[in-house]
A and B are shown apart, each in its own frame.
Chain A
Amino acid sequence: MTPDSLRAALRGVPDPDWLDAALRQVVAEPTAITRLFPAVGRRCGRAALPDAPGWTADDAARVLLLTSLPGEHATYAESLYRHGDAAERRAVLRALPLLPIGAAGVPLLQDAIRTNDTRLVGAALGPYARHLDPAAWRQAVLKCVFSGVPLAVVADLETRADGELAAMLAALAAERHAAGRELPADATDLLDRLTAALPREA
């Protein structure tokens, strides 16, 4: 998803003039984002965007505000995340892969993954999670399985899932079976695929 396609998908929001003015203001006066960011849900709504699957109006509009900043993206992302409510934090996490900040946002991902808020854990496992080292990434994927976050939200799952993740999933499956419980179907499917693809160890 690019800023341009989010912009196009946001044409039908309840108050498009507010969003236009907010985006212009952020370009001219970047500090204005501090008060515009929390107001987005009230002005643009929180409905799913038909032209941007997986996106809501508030997430998309906040991401656009961040990508419209003329500079200091990492500083603003950090401050808006630290001072944000859960919806603002989720939007910052979703904006990270679209900002010119390299790996500077990784501490925010780590913070989100430490929470038990499934909205934040899920948002942390988008494309920007490529900056997470393999150990942290596997733990985060396992946490999704453990807390019922659908694995469909995990970016690069097929290419990054490895033997170590398979071993962790198998151990969780064994624990669940011992308790008479099952893994979610998407996790069982992933474990089956990984097990089939990996050479069996003696």
Chain B
Amino acid sequence: MRIFDPHIHMTSRTTDDYERMAAAGVRALVEPAFWLGQPRTSAASFVDYFDSLIGWEPFRAGQFGVRHFATIALNPKEANDPRCRPVLDLLPRYLDKDAVVAVGEIGYDSMTPEEDEAFAAQLALAVAYDLPALVHTPHRDKARGCERTLAVVAESGIDAGRVVVDHLNEVTVKLVRDSGCWLGFSIYPDTKMTPERMVELLREYGTERMLVNSAADWGRSDPLLTRATGEAMLLAGFSDDDVDRVLWRNPVEFYGQSGRLDLSDLDVAEKVDPQTGNSILRGGS
């Protein structure tokens, strides 16, 4: 099973996680810029964070054979802090970088006028820099937040096929599917989405435009839930090819729209068991 985690905050994870992820089949990932739990107090603090996302963190990932990409943005939560707003002026130089494959995470947290403004400005940057956009949906008031998110996306003029709307669930899936945007699902130990519920959504809505991520960060989360979802899909009767589409080909197709997703020299060929013709699951299981 080859896995591309399209949303995971490795800055908050340890080398043990990298080791376990590599053993489970994770070969590439995207780390979106977000908040760090502790609110930041200046734009300079973001410079160090962004530099880490395109410097130290890819180096760390590389030690475990994992290819690391990033998305860069001022997140919705900190867009509300006037001390952090100057981050918007720093973004252009990061959006030119090789491993920056989208603008994100942008979107809404509390749906304030400040968030409106930062969201629209950053969708415009995505268009200007010819990059896809990763859009976070609010954890509170999610359904209305999702509707408003889609309206802002439509108004921005960005192609819906270049936008992923993330952290979806049973309530918001249909809305986003009908919009033409990609659908992101964050599989969590006990909150956002579980592997079993994800399998049900894949049964109902199919595998097209569906992205499964662990969104693992500094909160209670698990970087191996992408793999667990793949296994739950197989148990439920999905084929190896379905799993490969959801866990590898879909994220490659979505972020590949940046023109910057360099997966060369990465060991990602599917190995097939000559006896059975089935793909061999990596990671010793």
Contacts and interface: CB of A to CB of B under 8 A. Distances in A.
Interface of A: 34-35, 38-39, 41-42, 46, 83, 85-87, 89, 115-119
Interface string B47-59: 0000000111011
B54 to A, nearest CB: 4
A46 B55 CA distance: 17
Contacts of A38: 96-98
Given A38-B98, A42-B98, A85 B54 contact: yes
Contacts of A46: 262
B63 to A, nearest CB: 9
Interface string B28-71: 00000000000000000000000000111011000000000000
B97 A42 contact: no
Interface in B210-242: none
Contacts of A89: 55
A37 to B, nearest CB: 9
B55 A41 contact: no
Contacts of B58: 86
Contacts of B99: 85
Contacts of A42: 98, 259-260
A35 B97 CA distance: 9
Contacts of A39: 96
Given A42-B260, A83-B93, 13 more contacts: A38-B96, A38-B97, A38-B98, A46-B262, A85-B54, A85-B97, A85-B99, A87-B98, A115-B56, A116-B59, A117-B55, A117-B56, A119-B59
A41 B93 contact: no
Contact of A35 (B56, B96, B262): B96
Contacts of A34: 93
Place the interface of chain B in its size category. Answer: 10 to 19
Nearest to A41: B98
A54 to B, nearest CB: 18
A86 B260 contact: no
The 5 closest A-B pairs by CB, nearest first: A85-B54, A38-B96, A86-B55, A117-B59, A41-B98
A87 B59 CA distance: 11
Nearest to B92: A35
5 contacts: A38-B96, A85-B54, A86-B56, A117-B55, A117-B59
A86 B262 CA distance: 16
A116 B259 CA distance: 30
B59 A86 contact: yes
A1 to B, nearest CB: 23
A116 B99 CA distance: 20
A125 to B, nearest CB: 17
A91 B262 CA distance: 19
A39 B96 CA distance: 7
Nearest to B96: A38
Contacts of A118: 59
A86 B54 contact: yes
Contacts of B260: 42
